[in-house]
């Protein structure tokens, strides 16, 4: 078991003001693999003071200086790439191969996308008699989750560095090892002292101190809608900017003009990816009413074919849920769905056979679901998919939009005109057609209670920039 008690503040690894040990667990084995110390408001004060000092210089750095900085960071990331993949696999249970190919790739992907955007981004332009300048917002506070740990860290840190901001990061205390590795990369790259600071901690301690801190100019949070609301309220007294990437209950509309077996199978596999622990997972599958039972049968077959195993095993499979607490939450929602009348077509309560140790959950398909059931309205964040029938294109759109969320939506159709028509009517920040990927240069974010602002690529710059108009007599 390793110790990760120190924080990265002002370019150095430092001890917490007050030690408060917290055990890090491997969700595949339920074994303790590390110890961190949970920080406090006093640690946040130290980090913010360092970031504030650093901003006096870094906020006026040149584009060329920041390009060089991001190039060094990208190299440092690639040098420790395997170490990052291993950390993510251990801390949140991502299978070894998936962690290497998908999870760890997010870090380098976001750094590279920010680097390319920085080379051509227009920080200044003329409008009438005014020079319009885009300047760094200042000191930023980042609060990131455990489900795609380096993804959410990198897609905040990289654009902040690119735009000249300084920052204080609080990664998830459940999955903190990847943040520790990333902080070592920051140090390897020679990022100026105080520009990047990292403190381990929980929401009530470090998270609330960041949200309410008078010397933090902007907070960017990724996590649950409930927590996002609390952060917004805590930030209100200082009128700081708040960017939120929150929950989702994304619809996947499958139309009758496409191969049903292929579309349903792809939809099931996508939903179960990362054990369903993705805010943009397509967790509501909408299918034509006349093909409903066929779709349920195909979905059940696909779910039953998904392998579940420990994170250290090679191959194509899904791992455990991230923690005991989260396992119990997902199991509770599965049981509640059954009580409300949903039919278990595959999976169901309990752990897969032979995996009694670890927080493993059966890939689960629910049929006989309507859009008012709890299982169709609340984010499960586990390997659970519901199938809902619709009678017409209009009803499919109505059901898809009937949710408090609006992060992502998915459309499967062979009709280009229909795809164009439907995608424009869906109230979601991202719509993917026929399994198309979402690249690092596309904006990531949602409507309604899925948050505000956008991340990724050049779109991720905007939350970190203030707009100044400098007018002159002509």
Catalytic residues, by residue number, are 245, 279
The two structure tokens encoding residue 246:
């929150």
Q: What are phi and psi of 375, to 5 degrees?
A: -65, -20
Q: Do residues 84 and 92 make contact, with C-beta atoms less than 8 angstroms apart?
A: no
Cα 283-98-161 angle, rounded to 5 deg = 90
* 221 bridge partner residues: 143, 244
The two structure tokens encoding residue 451:
């948050």
CA 107 to CA 84: how far, in whole Å?
9
CA 56 to CA 67: how far, in whole Å?
19
The residue whose two tokens read 């901001």 is 165
Within 13 Å of residue 150, how many CA atoms lie on the same side as its CB? 32
The residue whose two tokens read 């998904």 is 306
The two structure tokens encoding residue 371:
């859009």
CA 286 to CA 455: how far, in whole Å?
28
From the CB of residue 187, how many other CB atoms can be counted at a distance below 10 Å?
A: 16
DSSP letter assigned to residue 43:
H
The two structure tokens encoding residue 287:
């299918």
Longest dimension (CA), the chain: 78
Type and span of the H or E element at 156: helix 149-163
CA 351 to CA 363: how far, in whole Å?
10
CA 392 to CA 418: how far, in whole Å?
12
- Could you tell me how many helices (H) and strands (E) the chain has, helices first? 15, 23
* 467 bridge partner residues: 134
């Amino acid at each position: 078991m390793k110790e990760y008690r120190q924080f990265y503040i002002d370019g150095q690894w430092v001890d917490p003001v007050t030690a408060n040990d917290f055990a890090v667990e491997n969700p595949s084995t339920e074994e303790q693999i590390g110890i961190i110390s949970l920080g406090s408001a006093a640690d946040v004060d130290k980090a913010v003071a360092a970031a504030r000092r650093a901003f006096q210089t870094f906020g006026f750095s040149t584009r060329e200086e920041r390009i060089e900085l991001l190039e060094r960071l990208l190299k440092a990331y690639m040098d420790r790439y395997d170490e990052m993949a291993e950390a993510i696999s251990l801390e949140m249970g991502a299978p070894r191969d998936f962690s290497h190919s998908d999870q760890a790739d997010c870090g380098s992907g976001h750094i590279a996308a920010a680097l390319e955007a920085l080379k051509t981004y227009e920080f200044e332009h003329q409008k009438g008699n005014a020079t319009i300048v885009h300047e760094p917002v200042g000191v930023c506070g980042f609060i990131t989750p455990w489900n795609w740990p380096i993804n959410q860290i990198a897609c905040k840190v990289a654009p902040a560095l690119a735009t000249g901001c300084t920052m204080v990061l609080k990664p998830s205390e459940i999955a903190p090892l990847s943040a520790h590795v990333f902080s070592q990369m920051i140090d390897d790259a020679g990022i100026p002292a105080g520009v990047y600071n990292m403190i381990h901690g929980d929401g009530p301690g470090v998270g609330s101190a960041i949200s309410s801190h008078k010397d933090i100019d902007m907070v960017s949070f990724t996590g649950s809608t409930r927590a996002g609301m609390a952060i917004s309220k805590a930030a209100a007294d200082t009128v700081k900017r708040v960017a939120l990437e929150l929950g989702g209950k994304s619809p996947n509309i499958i139309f009758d003009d496409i191969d049903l077996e292929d579309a349903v199978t792809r939809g099931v596999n996508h939903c179960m990816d990362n054990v369903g622990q993705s805010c943009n997972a397509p967790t509501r599958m909408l299918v034509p009413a006349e093909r409903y039972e066929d779709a349920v049968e195909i979905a059940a077959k696909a779910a039953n074919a998904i392998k579940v195993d420990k994170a250290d095993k090679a191959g194509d499979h899904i791992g455990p849920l991230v923690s005991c607490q989260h396992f119990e939450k997902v199991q509770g929602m599965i049981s509640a769905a059954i009580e409300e009348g949903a039919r278990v077509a595959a999976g169901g309560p309990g752990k897969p056979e032979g995996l009694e140790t670890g927080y493993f959950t059966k890939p689960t398909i629910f049929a006989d679901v309507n859009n008012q059931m709890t299982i169709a309205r609340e984010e499960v964040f586990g390997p659970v998919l519901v199938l809902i029938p619709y009678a017409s294109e209009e009803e499919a759109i109505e059901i898809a939009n009937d949710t408090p969320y609006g992060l992502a939506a998915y459309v499967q159709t062979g009709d280009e005109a229909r795809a164009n028509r439907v995608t424009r009517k869906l109230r979601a920040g991202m719509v993917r057609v026929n399994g198309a990927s979402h690249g690092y240069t596309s904006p990531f974010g949602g409507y309604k209670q899925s948050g505000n602002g956008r991340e990724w690529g050049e779109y991720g710059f905007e939350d970190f920039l203030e707009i100044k108009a400098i007018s002159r007599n002509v």
